[in-house]
Structure 1
Amino acid sequence: MGDLERELRDLSAWLETPEPPDVTARVRARVHRPTRRWRSLAVAALVALIVAVVPPTRAAIADAVTGLLRFAGVSIATSPAPTLPSATPSPLPAQRAVAPDEAQRLVRFPIRQPATLGPPERVLVADPDETGRYRVVALLYDGGALRVDAFDGRLNLAFHKEVSSPGVAWTHVNGDFAIWVDGPHVLSYVDRAGQVREETARLAASTLIWEEGDVTYRIEGALSRAEAVGIAESLP
């Protein structure tokens, strides 16, 4: 039962619940009931196999239970028809354009430019803390239609997405898990207090999300999944 316990603990991190229930204890208790032992063992083995081998199942289970998935500082809510923003979105908190070298001085993480895209047309920083260090950096290309966002992943959530199921799929960047959001979806900023800033809501394009170290990255634009992964894997 060791593998199952580990998988259940891992799965609990994907579920948005106020106080995660002690699922492992309940499973262990049921397994030890003699009259149902064979059935419980069979179900437990199947759950452990599916969750461990097929990562998309984790998203499916999370969606079935709560409709909310958290991954790499981004929360993704699925619904039949997300409410679209009705007005021009507000910029992120204290957002401003800066030169690339200035941007690097203003954040706590290295700013990496994808080799396949080259130098960005514009660089934006947003949401400074009390020391003047910014939380988010955006590299803009193609007039802003293509962007690479990076933010400090140590600060909990930074973005909230609303998508129409089944618009979310698992993929990989450099061998690690990533999430692909296929098609337009609503994107809002989550401030340092954990509140979704509805005034920042905008309609985002297809997006690739992944994490490296303490930094979370987003590539957004009119791209295929393969193109987005190629850009991501070109980061130095």
Structure 2
Amino acid sequence: MDDLEAELRELGGWLETPAAPDVTARVHDRLVGRVPGWRRWRAVAAAALVALVVAVLPPTRAAVADALGEVLRFAGVGIVTSSTSSPPGDEPSPLPSLRTVGLDEARRAVRFPVRVPAALGPPERVSVADPDGTGACRVATLLYDGGNLRLDAFDGRLDLTFHKRTSRPGAEWTQVDGDFAVWVDGPHVLSYVDRSGQIRRETARLAASTLIWEQAGVTYRLEGARTMAEALEIAQSLP
């Protein structure tokens, strides 16, 4: 916590806070009646601080992103840092109702644009998964390099679609075309979260380094790029 406090104090010296609704009163009202005795003032201050930092945290502040990993929700992805993580032991099952389709069919199967990065060109394989009651799929995936490089796209309006657990600090803020993004540097366990919000443990697998960002209501996961610079080049080439 000492490192986090120092980092937050440093942020306070140069951070320009954008105009936003004042949430302090609401945080206080919710906590005052729930936290007993002498711990109350600490809970109020901590909650308000977390709300502020998550709202305005700029790129490259990796230490703060790591420290807040247990509560971080970015676009449709939950990132959790933990020292107890371990790779799944069994072969994971695919995403719900996963099927391989052509690119044109994938575009008809989802409610959001399926964009092909110019830096990669046409995908080797395309799949869609998790249809709703109308048949509209929730996830579209473009696969390259024999499946080692993949771009997942899904409806960003959903609160949580993928859940990550990293075995070491590695969540770093960056930008894609001016929008906030997160780079997860190194292997991490990835699980799918179904429509009810439940983590599907049977889908857990060990994932490669990943870039996560949101554009125009669609959340993207680019997995398998060797470096953050390479991942950003691919992401910024989306039409």
**TM-score when normalising by structure 1:** 0.78
- SS of 1:155's equivalent in the other structure is coil
Contact 2:103 2:126 in 1 (8 A): yes
**What is aligned with 2:38?**
none
Whether 2:25 is the aligned partner of 1:22: answer: no
* Structure 1 residue runs without a partner (length 5+): 11-19, 27-43
Determine the C-alpha separation between the residues in 2 that align with 1:167 and 1:49: 18
Q: Which runs of 4+ in 1 moved over 2 A?
A: 3-10, 20-26, 47-63
In the TM superposition, 1:1-236 aligns within 5 A as 6=20, 9=23, 21-22=27-28, 52=56, 54=58, 56=61, 59-60=65-66, 62-63=68-69, 67-236=70-239
> CA separation of 1:150/1:62 partners in 2, compared to 1, >3 Å: closer, same or farther?
same
> 1:83-132 deviations in whole A, cap 9, x for unaligned?
21001100000000001001100000010000010000000100000000
> CA separation of 1:51/1:125 partners in 2, compared to 1, >3 Å: closer, same or farther?
closer
AA partner of residue 91 (structure 1): P
AA partner of residue 68 (structure 1): V
**What is aligned with 2:41?**
none
Say what the alpha-carbon RMSD is for the aligned residues.
3.0
How many residues in Structure 1 have an aligned counterpart in Structure 2?
Answer: 204
Over the matched positions of the two proteins, sequence identity in percent amounts to: 59
* Structure 2 residue runs without a partner (length 5+): 1-16, 33-47
Determine the C-alpha separation between the residues in 1 that align with 2:138 and 2:55: 33
For residue 53 of structure 1, report the CA deviation from its aligned partner: 6.3
**TM-score when normalising by structure 2:** 0.77
Contact 1:207 1:220 in 2 (8 A): yes
